[in-house]
Structure 1
Amino acid sequence: MLLPSLAQLSVLVFGVRSSYAAPPTAGIPAITLDQGTFQGVTDGLINKFLGIPFAKPPMGDLRFRLPVSNDPYTGVHSAITFGASCPQQALNLPIPGDITSSAINSVINTALTIATPESEDCLTLNVWTPVGARAGTKLPVVAWIFGGGFENGGTSTYDGGVIVKRSIELGQPIVYVSMNYRVSAFGFLPGKEVKAAGVGNLGLQDQRQAFRWIQKYINVFGGDPTRVTIWGESAGAISVALQMVTNGGDTEGLFHGAFMQSGSPIPVGDITDGQNFYDALVSETGCAGSSDTLQCLREAPFDTLKAAVDDSPGIFSFQSLALTWLPRADGNFLADLPQQLVLKGSVADIPFVTGDCDDEGTLFALSSLNVTNEFALRDYITTVFVPDAPASDIAQLLSLYPADVTQGSPFGTGTLNVLTPEYKRIAALLGDLVFQSARRFFLQNRSSKQNTWSFINKRLKTASVLGSAHATDLLNVYGPGDMSDFLINFVNHLDPNGAIQGLWPKYDTASSQLMTFLDGPVPLTLTSDKFREDAISFITTLALDNPI
């Protein structure tokens, strides 16, 4: 089924206009929160307020503790620059120089960017709002959660004004909020000590705290706290999914819709599974002899702790997507493994959109280019991803993901992009394990119970050896693109179609239709989510039995 271009559809699909009209700008925009005044900046169409603290700095004894609410605001504050990003993990790219290119570097910089400056004093958020929005305007709100492999990232990389300006053009103005959250070991420290202290998944707890801030204050900016959509990409999308499955699925009224780009409830294990990483951090910071190693880590000099974190395996290490620092079941925020929570029905009953890029695994397969034959591949999979799986399962997995390079990722590129004999095969495996299978599993368990939509991005297929790689869909939403229009529709109507139904069908397991983003003269079409059906079904079961 082919669809007209977005230009042909825009009048019909996005034709509903609100009564909002932006008045002329007068002076410096300022808002009052409690007894404090925050002075922002305007371009005449958009007001933005940057770097507003939403929790006390998680420093000193607040390091490795749950976020603590701010004291009431007082005084006058400049809100014209982003706050510092939370401490970033060093990026080490073990990629041979002969295969790097500006195209690959562009994808890497899009997907994983170290956001600077960085500081432990980092729990700030930012608000973009149309000029003229004020308390009582009640515009819908989108809350953006950045990606970065739970190791890197910050809000300063993303201009929310792009989204708000487009919403005004569509006659469907929204308020945009973005928040920092703790990443790497600072936000996702594993270990039995962490579990016992109830301080797991602090990065997710930071996000939740930002959602509470939105409920308390967003009305002042013209937002409607009852109409908040949470939205993210990559680690941000996984975060959105995990916010949906926590607390027995009770949103606490913090959000009523979810939009996920490259992220669903992932097959991760218990927080104690990362004990070796906790122990290594304790050893490298000189805390091994302490009677309370967690408190010792709180008191460790920042530079010492940061150096130890930087020495830990990162997303481009050999273990790749078997991340060192990532959300794990902690018995508190995540009462069980995320996919088990889905099976138990612990899912927020809200409309959601979830989708992936066609070649999610190519970027992450760059770290295993030294795996060049099936024997090495078997050892890599067994050692890194499923150490407890029987040999028969590994054999079946490899039969479903064969050595034939024409079946590997980037998909549909034939004999091109064969960096090594196993590169395209590994890329297919990684993309399906962490992204495609998790998305399909989520939809198969929830599409009959709530309104769901799904997509696949196949753009930039020939731009580099990475194909339609992880994070390439960001260009559809933060650049001039049709994805942003679907997002804005969803934020306004809890439906990416907006007021006109039928363009993007709801997902159901019978037809399993995906909105498909393409290059060329027909940029949008519908395809079926039946690709690699046997392989993805098996890898889903394998991941359930052997969480990362």
Structure 2
Amino acid sequence: MMKIIFTLLFIIVYALQGIQAQVPKPVKLTIENGKIEGFNDDEQHVDKFLGIPYAQPPVGELRWKAPQPLTDWSETRDTKKFGPTPMQADVFGDMVFRSEKMSEDCLYLNVWTPDSRKKNAALPVLVYFYGGGYVAGGSSEPRYDGASMAQKGIVTVTVNYRLNIFGFFAHPQLSEEAAYKASGNYGLLDQAAALQWVKDNIKAFGGDPDRVTIAGESAGSISVSSQMASPLSKHLIAGAIGESGAAIKPTLAPVSLEEAESIGMKFATTFGYYSLKELRKASTEEIFEKYKKSGFFGFPSVIDGYFFPKTLPEIFKAGEQSQVPLLLGWNSAEIPGMAFMQGQPYTDEAYIKNVKQAYPDTYEEVLKLYPHTSEEEIALSATALASDRFISYSTWKWFDLHRKHSDQPVYRYLFSQIRPKAANEEKQPIGAPHASEIPYCMGNLYLMDEFNWTDADKKTSAVMQQYFANFIKTGDPNKGDLRKWPAAKPEDGTPPVMIINADSKGGRSSK
């Protein structure tokens, strides 16, 4: 009998130890507004603080206003779960969120920091902005997870910002009530407020407020170019990383306030809203359902004389942007060639027809630059054309402007590692598609089990993440046994480019 009792006690104690081992160890910090409690991930050796508010909830009378400062809290605030994802439709099939809900109350950020940091550490900081065309996205996506970067000694922050009608709606009555007499750009103002929060609070997490690198992909990259240009935020950063995109035509460039207000007025009057009071009184769900029915994919950013004093090319040509090191690039197949072919087959006749239609005055030059001697070559050229027209050109222009109007180093890459075919894809991608580089550079292949990653993918990720980590730490991607990545010179007609794949190597290109 005693043997049975001892056996049962042993089992109970063992079980309790197992449960205790699975319970994350709480970690408390004090930031400007009060105490917060995150947790330690013992396996990853990283402390995580999720769902930290950085501004007041932009709801009710604060809907369509610049983010407002937080009020202090007296009790310790729990920060162990991601905050709500911004309101959005299911636009992109590759987005997976770890937050529990969507809400207009979405201004939260997340911090991952090494648990080995010293009390007075001054570690480099990465602030990452998600993509999604300013209509979708969220900081809880696994591909943006900051633990892997934190393991490299980098305090990593991901930020929610307002989207679509809640983040970029402009209206004459909104402009009238604002102190700066303009409206729109609320999502970008959110990002600027988050950067100020990082400046004021990151030291508590072991980060150095003077060593903040901002990064992002697609709309996140466009955001990085915008924060570099804005007088509200350009002084808050020490470096910038852009992955596919800049706020330069034809890619989500800001429009005039008059045009943005006109778009906003059209939406409001179409649905019977004739006053700002009516617009703010409507529920989140009501406004969002009207937005989805409206046919508006998104609302543009605005040259408001506040966040954007001028266009990006004007700001950069004047040397008024943040004078910091810049690392940027794009992918080898940002968008399928069929986007240019308009669904037509890769035949010589169809290809020439589409080139003539797109470039009636210069089609002969375009055909030389994007050749068409075979079906395979047409597929490659159509993909290159579609990608350039979609997002590669704007990224190149940003690169060109900063290297010519800055004394800071500029590094360019071309990501060409073709990831494994996804379950919903019929064919292997012709190149590296849009957004495919994100889990590689953030070290998060292990969190995306929908792909059968190969040794080549893992090698590519290790190299790309190390380049990025080096840059975040020093403003230079070169360190260790990585292949030399030269900076571009202002006068160089064929500036260097690092081709990133399983056999990463440097090259030169005139585009």
For normalisation by structure 1, the TM-score amounts to 0.73
2:432 corresponds to: 468
RMSD: 3.3
How far apart are the structure 2 equivalents of 1:64 and 1:375?
A: 47
Counterparts of 1:365 and 1:41, CA distance in 2? 46
Partner residue in 1 for 2:313: 339
SS in 2 for 1:181: coil
Q: Tell me if the contact between 2:165 and 2:291 (Cα under 8 Å) persists in the aligned partners.
A: yes
Whole-Å Cα distance in 1 between the matches of residues 352 and 25 of structure 2?
68
Q: Which residue of the partner structure matches residue 247 of structure 1? A: 231
Residue 377 of structure 2 aligns to a residue in which SS? coil
- Kept in 1, the 8 Å contact 2:51–2:80? The answer is yes
In the alignment, is residue 395 of structure 1 matched against residue 360 of structure 2? yes
Q: What does the per-residue CA deviation read over 1:90-145, in whole Å, with 9 as the maximum and x for residues that have no partner?
A: 42xxxxxxxxxxxxxxxx644x5678621011000110001132541111111111
For residues 292-351 of structure 1, the C-alpha deviation after alignment (integer angstroms, 9 at most, x for no partner) is 3x4432222211210122234466xxxxxxxx3232322221111222222222211111
Report the alpha carbon displacement of residue 462 of structure 1 after superposing the two structures with TM: 8.8
User: Which secondary structure state, in structure 2, belongs to the residue aligned with residue 200 of structure 1?
Assistant: coil
**Secondary structure in 1 matching 2:76:** strand
Taking the aligned partners of 1:230 and 1:285, their CA distance within structure 2 comes to 38
Preserved CA contact (<8 Å) 1:195 1:271: no
- The amino acid across from 1:471 in the alignment is A
Q: 1:327 to 1:35 in 2, by over 3 A?
A: closer
Relative distance call for 1:179 and 1:514 in structure 2 (3 A) is same
Query: Structure 1 residue 404: deviation in Å?
Result: 10
Query: Structure 2 regions of 5+ residues with no counterpart?
Result: 1-22, 422-427, 446-457
Q: Does 1:361 align with 2:335?
A: yes
1:196-275 matches, cutoff 5 A? 196=176, 197=178, 198-247=182-231, 251-252=234-235, 254-267=236-249, 268=253, 269-275=255-261
Q: 1:376 to 1:52 in 2, by over 3 A?
A: farther
Report if aligned partners of 1:141, 1:174 keep a CA contact under 8 Å in 2.
Answer: yes
Q: 1:505 aligns with which of 486, 503, 506?
A: 486
Match of 2:131 among 130, 147, 160: 147
Bigger relative contact order (CA 8 A; separation at least 6): 1
Q: CA deviation at 1:377?
A: 5.3
237 and 35 in structure 1: CA distance in 2 versus 1, 3 angstrom threshold: closer
In structure 2, relative to structure 1, the CA distance for the partners of 1:199 and 1:357 (3 Å cut) is same
**1:310-349 to 2 correspondences below 5 Å:** 310-313=292-295, 324-349=298-323
Counterpart for residue 441 of structure 1: 397
Q: Which residue is equivalent to 2:64? A: 64
Instruction: Return closer, same or farther for 1:412/1:220 CA change in 2, 3 Å cut-off.
Output: farther
Q: Give deviations 1:154-174, integer Å, cap 9, x for gaps.
A: 011031112212x1xxxxx11
Would the alpha carbon gap of residues 405 and 527 (structure 1) be closer, same or farther in structure 2, given more than 3 Å must change?
A: closer
Alpha-carbon distance change, 365 to 74 in structure 1, aligned in 2, over 3 angstroms: farther
1:88 aligns with 2:68: no
* AA matched with 1:467: G
Superposition pairs of residues 37-48 of structure 1, within 5 angstroms:
37-44=35-42, 45-48=45-48
3-state SS of paired residue (1:28) = strand
When residues 404 and 161 of structure 1 are mapped into structure 2, their CA distance, relative to the original with a 3 A threshold, is same
User: Which residue number corresponds to residue 11 of structure 2?
Assistant: none
Deviation, 1:466, is: 5.1
Match of 1:544 in 2: none
Q: Give 3-state SS (helix, strand or coil) of 2:55's partner.
A: coil
Residue 160 of structure 1 pairs with residue 123 of structure 2: no
- Paired residues for 1:12-23 under 5 Å: none
Q: Equivalent residue for 1:21?
A: none
**Alpha-carbon distance in structure 1 between the residues aligned to 2:135 and 2:62:** 20
* Aligned partner of residue 440 in structure 1, secondary structure: helix
* Count of aligned residue pairs for this structure pair: 446
In structure 1, list runs of 5 or more residues that go unmatched. Answer: 1-24, 92-107, 168-172, 316-323, 382-393, 418-423, 532-548
Deviation, 1:356, is 0.5
Contact kept, 8 Å, 1:149 with 1:235, in 2: the verdict is yes
- Name 1:451's counterpart in structure 2: 409
| Whole-angstrom CA distance in 1 between matches of 2:37 and 2:315 | 43
Aligned to 1:490: 471
CA distance in 2, matches of 1:151, 1:47: 31
Residue number among 408, 432, 436 corresponding to 2:388 in the alignment: 432
Partner of 1:100: none
User: How many percent of aligned residue pairs carry the same amino acid?
Assistant: 26
**Does residue 525 of the first structure (1) align with residue 505 of the second (2)?**
yes
Per-residue CA deviation, residues 210-266 of structure 1 (Å, 9 max, x unaligned), is 011111111111111111111111111110111011119x723x1111111112232
Contact 2:128/2:216 (<8 A) preserved: yes
Q: Give, as a single letter, the amino acid of the residue that structure 2 aligns with 1:487.
A: F
Q: TM-score, normalised by structure 2?
A: 0.78
Q: How far does the alpha carbon of each residue in 1:375-396 deviate from its partner, in whole angstroms, 9 at most, with x for none? A: 9958986xxxxxxxxxxxx413
In structure 2, what is the Cα distance between the partners aligned to 1:332 and 1:356? 29
